[in-house]
Chains A and B, each alone.
Chain A
Amino acid sequence: MNQQLGELWRARHFIRTSIRNEFVSRVVRSRLGFLWIVLYPLAQVAIYAFVLSIVMAAKLPGLTTAYAYPIYLTAGILAWSLFAEIVSRSLNLYIENGNLLKKVVFPKLALPAIMTGSALLNNLLLLAAVLVIFAFLGHLPGAAIVWLPILMALLLVLALGVGLLLGLLNVFIRDIGQIVSIVLQFGFWLTPIVYNLELLSERYRHLLYLNPLTGIVQGYQDVLLYRQAPDLGVLIYPATCAAVSVVLAVWVYRRGIDDVVDVL
């Protein structure tokens, strides 16, 4: 593994230019360019805000601002879109690059590194756009924003662990790709993004805490909406899940990566 990380470090320029290339090639041929990266999640926010604000607006406890619900939604979608992008792109990472893996010798870890960098770049652009909009709404997060990089890192590790584990298995058992796409759809609704946990009965609330994203999304909401530090107690479980998933992914990677090239 150390040797792999060394290779990865030597390939850092390649990874950096690849991320840039991917970004450029996406932006260069459409007229609105990088706006699309930001517009899609913001459109999601607009739709949910429009449809659900009547039901939800009054029910976010302890808030006076009129834009509380859209901000709440945006915080959740910001977190969710990073997770969903990494997981869904990891799923087909090895399959899509099968030919390359079979015919060119290069550090294989560069593939997830490029994908992660690219997803992170998209998410940071979205964050920047979101902060600009929040500023217009007169709702900047304040000092609590120092927690955001930590939450983001936790989310990233969790997404990478889960994504790479499933992506490797997907090479062998292609059904996984299909199943995970569906699970992601459910996952969106099983995470308190458009609704608030306070609204649910005790029983369901405990069930939703089994979803490791719940704590992280609540952290995002704490920082961006309530301007307060996230509840660290809630983050222990997601952090444990992230650690376990990474350990599993590393184990499967070491076992399976040679088989991956055989099977592709």
Chain B
Amino acid sequence: MSWALKVDSVSKSFLRYRRESHRVLAWLGIRLGSVQQTQVLHDVTFALEPGEAVGLIGLNGAGKSTLLKIITGTLKPSAGQVAVNGRVAAILELGMGFNPELTGRQNVYHVAGLMGYAHAQIEGFIDEVHAFSELGDYFDQPVRVYSSGMQMRLAFSIATAERPEILIVDEALSVGDAYFQHKSFDRIRQFAREGTTLLLVSHDKQAIQSICTRAILLDHGRVAMEGAPDAVMDFYNAMLADHQDQQIAELPGHGGALLSGTGEATFTEAALHDARGQALEVVDVGQSVELRVSARCVAALPDLVLGFLIKDRYGQDVFGTNTRQLGQVRYEVPAGEALSWRFRFPANIGPGTYSITLALHSHAGHIERNYAWQERALMFEIVNRSQHEFSGVAWLKVESECETHHEC
């Protein structure tokens, strides 16, 4: 069986000595003091076939970066081995090795030289790099005058100057403007069509689902699941939901940073559920969801209103309402009473991440008497699984038809 990249029972542990001098003594075979071992990867095994596009996903701290460093070769595995068939190019962090005093052109020679290209090779592709990076006259100016976007464009152009057999892409691509993001993704797809094996590491579910033919889920340093992107993503979402539950349980003690107000009422729980009552973190466009909020009155209150506000990731208000607007104000609430609300609505909003801000306030409005105010009490993500592709923050269910008219 042919393979482009084989990761064979790779484990990695970092040793922490009580004193670093003990590490030096350990080279001499002298063991002193206790050694703390942090195992980051446990027996990770997988193989990529030539031309395959595979997504690598996992929560923060699952060991993705360590695994990538081992595959690219900057870190050595503690056990197991990695075999590659062909040249590996990694876009882990763009802009490494730039010398700010040198011009863009000189930096191409410098950085490409660092990556192991020969001088003649660099001369062969430097015009291409110049064109792709769209730096124009800036190409012959020192990199220190570049904007970060320009540096990133140059770095990406160098990293992908020649088609590698294996391309490893980390989330580095999320930098830069939208135009160049598209351009770079087009180049990556182009490489994949020409036979490059792609390992894409991302939190971006859509990127994984749209490019990859297979996905690998890493959890606590182990391969938790391997298979079709959709199936793996569902599993990952469930894992995220578990993770989220934990956060909800911690919500009351969540700290003062997010929570403000008089404290006469407090939130005890907030969660998003689907129609069957399952906790949700990832929501399909148009899916029916239920927002459940529980609160407790600390002091007796003359009246109590609960409001919620959905914001997109830029902080724009997408939708907000409260129980006064809904005609459900509670009057004369005694101290110690626990309340819970349920709001059912279809998630007719566009793909992206959203936060929900919650507020408990008096009838007159949250400015006058604000009992509790929780920014980003909940986070959720909208993905488009079942609808036609569309753009924008709102989803308007469109039905279209097209007729042709014949002139007789």
Contact: B27 with A101, CB < 8 Å? no
Looking at B27, B74, B90, the one whose CB has the most chain A CB atoms below 10 A away is B74
Q: What does the 1/0 interface line of A12-31 toward B look like (CB < 8 Å)?
A: 01100110010011001100
* Any B CB within 8 A of the CB of A10: yes
Q: Which residues of A contact B76 (CB under 8 A)?
A: 258, 261
Q: What does the 1/0 interface line of B61-75 toward A look like (CB < 8 Å)?
A: 000000001001111
A21 to B73, CA, bound (A): 27
* Any B CB within 8 A of the CB of A35: no
* Any B CB within 8 A of the CB of A128: no
Which residues of B116-149 are within 8 A (CB) of A?
A: 116, 118-119
Q: Of the candidates A106, A169, A173, which one forms a contact with B115 in the assembled complex, judged by CB atoms under 8 Å apart?
A: A106
Q: Which residues of B contact A24 (CB under 8 A)?
A: 101-102
Contact: B96 with A99, CB < 8 Å? yes
Q: What does the 1/0 interface line of B92-104 toward A look like (CB < 8 Å)?
A: 1100110101100
Chain B, interface size: which category? Answer: 20 to 34
With A13-B118, A29-B101 as given contacts, are A261 and B74 in contact (CB-CB < 8 Å)? yes
A18 to B76, CA, bound (A): 27
List the one stretch of B17-25, B44-52, B356-364 in contact with chain A. B17-25
Q: What does the 1/0 interface line of B1-35 toward A look like (CB < 8 Å)?
A: 00000000000001100001101100100000000
A28 to B101, CA, bound (A): 8
Q: Which residues of B contact A256 (CB under 8 A)?
A: 24, 27
Q: Which residues of A contact B101 (CB under 8 A)?
A: 21, 24-25, 28-29
Q: B93: nearest residue on chain A (CB-CB)?
A: A103
A261 to B69, CA, bound (A): 10
With A172-B24, A173-B20, A258-B76 as given contacts, are A13 and B119 in contact (CB-CB < 8 Å)? yes
Looking at A103, A169, A258, the one whose CB has the most chain B CB atoms below 10 A away is A103
Chain A, interface size: which category? Answer: 20 to 34
* Any B CB within 8 A of the CB of A102: yes
With A105-B74, A259-B23 as given contacts, are A10 and B116 in contact (CB-CB < 8 Å)? yes
With A105-B73, A173-B21 as given contacts, are A18 and B113 in contact (CB-CB < 8 Å)? yes
* Any A CB within 8 A of the CB of B395: no
* Majority SS at the chain A contact face: helix
Contact: A101 with B118, CB < 8 Å? no
With A14-B114, A172-B20, A262-B14 as given contacts, are A100 and B99 in contact (CB-CB < 8 Å)? no
Q: Which residues of B contact A25 (CB under 8 A)?
A: 99, 101-102
Distance from B252 Cβ to chain A, minimum over Cβ atoms (Å): 40
With A13-B113, A104-B96 as given contacts, are A262 and B75 in contact (CB-CB < 8 Å)? yes
Q: Of the candidates B15, B24, B72, which one forms a contact with A105 in the assembled complex, judged by CB atoms under 8 Å apart?
A: B72
Q: A102: nearest residue on chain B (CB-CB)?
A: B74
A256 to B73, CA, bound (A): 16
A104 to B24, CA, bound (A): 25
A18 to B23, CA, bound (A): 33
Distance from A263 Cβ to chain B, minimum over Cβ atoms (Å): 8
Q: A15: nearest residue on chain B (CB-CB)?
A: B113
Which residues of A1-45 are within 8 A (CB) of B?
A: 10-11, 13-14, 17-18, 21, 24-25, 28-29
Q: Of the candidates B90, B99, B114, which one forms a contact with A106 in the assembled complex, judged by CB atoms under 8 Å apart?
A: B114
* Any B CB within 8 A of the CB of A252: yes
* Any B CB within 8 A of the CB of A255: yes
* Any A CB within 8 A of the CB of B110: yes
* Any A CB within 8 A of the CB of B353: no
Contact: B114 with A261, CB < 8 Å? no
Looking at B15, B24, B69, B106, the one whose CB has the most chain A CB atoms below 10 A away is B24
Q: List 11 interface pairs A-B (beta carbons < 8 Å), by A numbering.
A: A13-B113, A13-B119, A21-B102, A100-B97, A102-B69, A104-B96, A105-B116, A172-B21, A172-B24, A259-B23, A262-B15
- A contacts, CB < 8 Å to B: 10-11, 13-14, 17-18, 21, 24-25, 28-29, 99-106, 169, 172-173, 252, 255-256, 258-259, 261-263
